[in-house]
Amino acid sequence: MGFAAGLCAGALAGWLAGAGGRGPAPAAPQVRVVPTFEAARADEAAAALGAPEAAARAAQPDPAEPAATQTGLPRAEKLVAISRSREPHDVLAAWDEDAASASPGERRAFVLLVSPAQSDASLEALARDVRDENEDARLLDVRVYDDADAARSPRVADAGQRARAHLVAEVQRNEAAGLDVIQVRGRRVLP
């Protein structure tokens, strides 16, 4: 027992002496990386496109553009007609990509007005209704405000702070981007 204690005490003293010395800093570990993931070695050396192709692209004519820009959000009756939710609301604006077409387009937008006192449950029901009524649209952007002026005012003036303060519900869907969201007063609701 005494011998063992003495042995360990000696080892302790030796270790303390070694640790207390001002020897060189410990060396960095000699770490080697062994990659095993073959996909990381994908070859990226394929040649870039040639300049003539880009020049040809730049020379492509602009696609046909619609009539000149006007002021005031449009209110397409063909879209108002499909908005049949029983929850109280007004359609301030509604439009799609082709105002001349009699049928609703693939990319639709709605700006709706509700009362500031409208309940979350009512807003959620309204949002679901509008989403369901436009399920055939590839892209849908619905904004529900509780103040008409805020809904119509340009956002560039105040970074959209006033509009956002009165934005009480949103419906956003974009199939290609995997987006399908309903938000009511900042709370995300499963569609």
Partner 1 sequence: MKRRFLTSAATLFCVAFVSAPALAGGWWLKSPACDPDSVGSGTVNIQDSVTGNFWSFEVDYQVFASNNCANPDPVNGSFTYVYTVTFADEGPISGLSLQNLRVEIANASAVVDAGYLTGGPGVQPAGVSVNITPANNVTASFADGSLNVGDTSLPIYVVSPYQPGAGVVNLQVTAFTGSGAALVPAALPQACPCTTSYWNLRITLWPFFLHDFPGTQLDQIETKAVALSGGFFTSKTDLVAALLYPGLLDVRKKAKRELAAVLLNAAAGELFPANTKCRLFLGTQLDQDNDGTPDSTVSAAIGQIITEIQSNDLFTQLDALSMAAQIDNGQDVVGLVLFH
Find the binding residues for partner 1 in span 29-58 (CB under 8 A). Answer: 29-37, 39-40, 44-51, 54-55, 57-58
Using rule CB under 8 A, residue 62 touches partner 1: yes
Distance CA 128, CA 181 (A): 10
Find the binding residues for partner 1 in span 85-104 (CB under 8 A). Answer: 93, 95-97, 99
Nearest to partner 1 of 177, 190 (CB atom): 177
Are 88 and 114 within 8 A, CB to CB?
yes
Let me know if 147 is exposed, middle or buried by CB neighbors in 10 A (0-12, 13-18, 19+): middle
Using rule CB under 8 A, residue 124 touches partner 1: no
* Residue among 186, 183, 161, 163 nearest 173 (CA): 183
* Residue among 107, 101, 123 nearest 168 (CA): 123
Nearest to partner 1 of 16, 121 (CB atom): 16
Using rule CB under 8 A, residue 18 touches partner 1: no
Nearest to partner 1 of 119, 161 (CB atom): 161
**Least CB distance from residue 127 to partner 1, whole Å?**
14
Are 183 and 169 within 8 A, CB to CB?
yes
Q: What is the DSSP letter of 41?
A: G
Find the binding residues for partner 1 in span 136-155 (CB under 8 A). Answer: 138-141, 154-155
Find the binding residues for partner 1 in span 67-86 (CB under 8 A). Answer: 67, 69-74
Measured distance between the N- and C-terminal CA atoms of the chain, rounded to whole angstroms: 75
**Least CB distance from residue 13 to partner 1, whole Å?**
9
**Least CB distance from residue 183 to partner 1, whole Å?**
9
Phi, psi values for residue 21, rounded to 5°:
-70, 160
Nearest to partner 1 of 15, 120 (CB atom): 15
